């Protein structure tokens, strides 16, 4: 399986994402600049964390108009797995690939620490290697991770089982109903604030994030064999 790590001006999680795929997962991966006009040949797309375009206007608001985002949206609509982590999640929200919006953390401070997540849905291409209700340790590092949506959107998120991860116990950023990660209705686009790519080896304090990437590969291989 071949992954694209999209690099925006100000990205800082791209190297972590590249390492997770190449060295821990053992799959093919390439950096793709924000100026790229094609994502042909890639089987998975990763939008890393960071401060794209300096987080001016709103987090992800300028990156949403990057040249490559047209191709990301096209790939997402074709069913390609797209993962946005932290700033990547914010970009997916701004691009309309996921519903809702991101606000400043409740305490108006940057938070950087391990968090406990609950796997709310293990029937997605990103979570099939987890158990439903499993608690995993994944670090966060953000200043604007307070997820918000209106009542109708929340109703649809629950109805379609789009809430994939929630914070266990303490809600670190004030996110509505403790939401830490959601998918689109089709289930092939996941946005999450915690960083699974920084939890792929016990030397990092947790290897719980590796299962997320393994899930993507396993589902891709199953479909690839079926469609071969």
Q: Which sequence positions are flagged as catalytic?
A: 86, 195, 197
Number of neighbours of residue 74 by Cβ within 10 angstroms? 12
Query: Any idea what the Cα angle at residue 47 is, between residues 54 and 145, rounded to 5°?
Result: 60
Query: Measured between alpha carbons, how far is residue 151 from residues 100, 148, 158, 162, 224 in Å?
Result: 10, 10, 11, 15, 38
Q: Which of 47, 13, 18 is nearest to 30 (CA)?
A: 18
Rounded-to-integer distance, Cα 215 and Cα 226, Å: 17
State the pairing for strand pair 179-183/189-192: antiparallel
- Give the span between the Cα atoms of 93 and 122, in whole angstroms: 22
């Amino acid at each position: 399986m071949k992954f694209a790590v999209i690099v925006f001006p100000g990205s800082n999680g791209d190297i972590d994402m590249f390492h997770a795929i190449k060295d821990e997962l053992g799959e093919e991966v390439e950096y793709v600049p924000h100026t790229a006009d094609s994502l042909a040949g890639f089987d998975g797309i990763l939008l890393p964390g960071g401060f794209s375009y300096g987080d001016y206007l709103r987090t992800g608001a300028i990156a949403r108009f990057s040249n490559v985002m047209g191709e990301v949206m096209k790939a997402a609509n074709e069913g390609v797995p797209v993962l946005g982590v932290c700033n990547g999640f914010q970009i997916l929200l701004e691009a309309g690939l996921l519903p809702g919006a991101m606000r400043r953390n409740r305490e108006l401070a940057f938070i950087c620490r391990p968090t406990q997540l609950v796997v709310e849905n293990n029937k997605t291409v990103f979570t099939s290697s987890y158990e439903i209700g499993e608690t995993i340790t994944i670090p966060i590092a953000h200043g604007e991770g307070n997820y918000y949506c209106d009542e109708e959107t929340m109703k649809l998120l629950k109805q379609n089982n789009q809430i994939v991860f929630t914070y266990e116990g303490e809600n670190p950023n004030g996110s509505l109903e403790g939401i830490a990660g959601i998918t689109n209705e089709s289930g092939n686009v996941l946005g999450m604030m915690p960083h699974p790519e920084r939890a792929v080896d016990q030397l990092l304090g947790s290897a719980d994030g590796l299962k997320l990437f393994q899930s993507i590969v396993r589902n891709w291989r199953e479909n690839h064999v079926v469609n071969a």
